[in-house]
Amino acid sequence: MGIIVQKYGGSSVADIEKIKHVAEKVTNTQKKGNKVVVVVSAMGKTTDNLINLAKQIHKNPPTREMDLLLSTGEIVSVALLCMAIENLGFEAEGLPGFLAGIRTDNIHTKARIRTIDTRRILEELKKDKIVVVAGFQGISPEDNITTLGRGGSDLTAIAIAGALKAEICEIYTDVPGVFTADPNIVPEARIIPVISYKEMLEMASAGAKVMQSRAVEFAQKYHIPFVVKSTFIENGGTMVTEVDFKEGAVVSSVTLDEKQAKITFFHVPDRPGVAARIFGALGEANINVDIIVQNVSTSGYTDLSFTVNIAEIERAFEISQNIGKELGCKSVTSDNEIAKVTVIGLGMMNHPGVAARMFSALARAGINIEMISTSEIKISCIVRKKDGQKALKTVHQEFIK
């Protein structure tokens, strides 16, 4: 009998009625003769609310305690879903991450999964129980609770599916699949029935929050196919797997990331070791840097800007200000009012001119580009946050017919 892993996101378990609906879906899957492992996220906006509470007490909350706090959100969902399943006459066993054998490293608030000891899950499945696992969390080598970064329940589901060699991993969410752009911003966006890991990874890294990028990375590395579906609508679904590129659309999707922030060092001495000093310090603090731009230097000085996730801007700014002083810069500023729009497509590898088309479309719409970054299959532009949604719609209209 095959194992099916199903993951239900925050909006799918946002209230009691929705939790009851998920219990119906889960028990129906078991009735069809499958062994079922369910991964759940925290209810609705719980994680945001918990972060908010912490920030009201401490500007930079200690990350170990932050993880302790955040892990509670998914545990609430687990307990309630198990009760709803039992209420339908089925047996369920709820497991927080550490009881499900999810061992991580010790990088609090964005830990990586190292191993999964599946013994407990398998024992419960053998007893014909539906196993409900708390997403987004694990336990460090020091036996502390860790969390896996925002959207991390996706990673829990993918990693468990891999460890159990599940038949399929189903990611249930509030949209019917992966679209050519966020359907909540671009109503004309179309569903993509099958997509390669590579493109899905670029989309996720560019901020399409429908899948966490680390989860896609993990799925690609260990060849774990998964499907993204709606909890509420039967039809649709996007299969994410290894697919060969077929000649077709040059751009397959466009993405907007409104969770970016920018730091600029003005008038920094242009000498060897400066970039290494700045980015070395940020790396040591486990802060991921996305786009970096350095201006042409004039009389031995230059300006240098980079972007980070907005959740890390306070820490990044504090570190940058200290280094700015040390290097003798004129000033260091931080700017939260930016957004990143990205076009993605395997077809871009063989088609020059995509960048020019993107820049022209943005120019025609009167949108100024502040930073640019490209890779083999994507082009990203930083724009003002107020222009972000317009930029997304403009670029979608340009490339996706």
* Residue 381: CB atoms within 10 Å: 24
CA 116 to chain centre: 21
Site stretch for ligand ASP (CB under 6 A), options 88-96, 151-159, 175-183, 338-346 = 151-159
Interaction between residue 200 and ligand ADP (CB under 6 A):
no
d(CA 153, CA 171): 10
> Looking at 4, 5, 6, 10, which residue binds ligand ADP (CB under 6 A)?
10
d(CA 393, CA 401): 12
SS3 content of the chain, % helix, strand, coil (to 5): 40, 30, 35
CA 229 to chain centre: 17
CA distances from 377 to 189, 206, 342, 359 (A): 20, 12, 10, 16
With CB under 5 to 8 Å by kind, the binding choice for 152 among Mg ion, ligand ADP, ligand ASP, none is ligand ASP
- Contact code string over 177-196 relative to ligand ADP, x by CB under 6 A: -xx-xxxx------------
With CB under 5 to 8 Å by kind, the binding choice for 135 among ligand ADP, ligand ASP, Mg ion, none is ligand ASP
- Cα dihedral sign for 196, 198, 201, 205? negative
Interaction between residue 162 and Mg ion (CB under 5 A):
no
d(CA 269, CA 233): 57
Site stretch for ligand ADP (CB under 6 A), options 174-182, 258-266, 275-283, 311-319 = 174-182
- Contact code string over 128-157 relative to Mg ion, x by CB under 5 A: -----------------------x------
Nearer to ligand ADP, 73 or 101 (CB): 73
Interaction between residue 42 and ligand ASP (CB under 6 A):
yes
> Looking at 153, 213, 220, 307, which residue binds ligand ASP (CB under 6 A)?
153
The residues binding ligand ASP (CB under 6 A) are 9-10, 41-42, 47, 73, 135-136, 150-154
